[in-house]
Amino acid sequence: MKDDYHKTHFDEHRSKINSIAVIHELIYKSKNLTQINLKNYINEISFNLQEVYQSDARRIEISTNIEEVVIELDIALPLGLIVNEVITNSFKHAFKGKTPGKISISLKKIFDKIQLQISDNGKSTILEDRHEGSIGMDILEGPVEQINAKHSFKNTEGTIFLLEFSSII
């Protein structure tokens, strides 16, 4: 790519495609073709995004605390797109002028509900950046609806994304 604008768009699309490709890779390695382990899936997505957005000048650590939870593929694909979008947003916006940074991902199952939290310690920009003409985090609405989830954002010492959904469709 000759300029940063096109390189950024290319990287964003590549990361979305990688999120989908990770599912296929994990399915092929699995004995079960209808379910996927979220720990492996989210770790792969976050690793791939770190490879795309990391540079020597900008060190951003990703830490995970993800329980071993197995879900149906019908939930996994939209969830992967959600995880990809939120982490991408942190890399792109939260750490402008701030380094090093940290993105934390936690996932736990409580009875038949799954709770996902993705947070960063960067600038709290997610709520302020939503303006007309920007699709930004609006991309999340489709996949969130698809898995009948509830989600919210909080701006604190960074941004916190919370998602809760049923482990059963």
pLDDT given at position 146:
92
Q: Under 8 Å CB-to-CB from 105, ≥6 apart: which residues?
A: 42, 46, 62, 63, 64, 65, 66, 83, 87, 116, 117, 118
Query: Which of 8-22, 95-109, 125-139 bottoms out in mean pLDDT, i.e. has the lowest?
Result: 125-139
Q: What is the mean pLDDT of the chain?
A: 81
Q: What is the pLDDT of residue 156?
A: 81
What pTM did the predictor assign? 0.81
* Residue 114 pLDDT > 50: yes
pLDDT for 43-96, tens place per residue? 999 998 888 887 655 688 999 999 999 998 889 889 998 998 999 888 888 887
Greatest C-alpha distance within the chain: 51
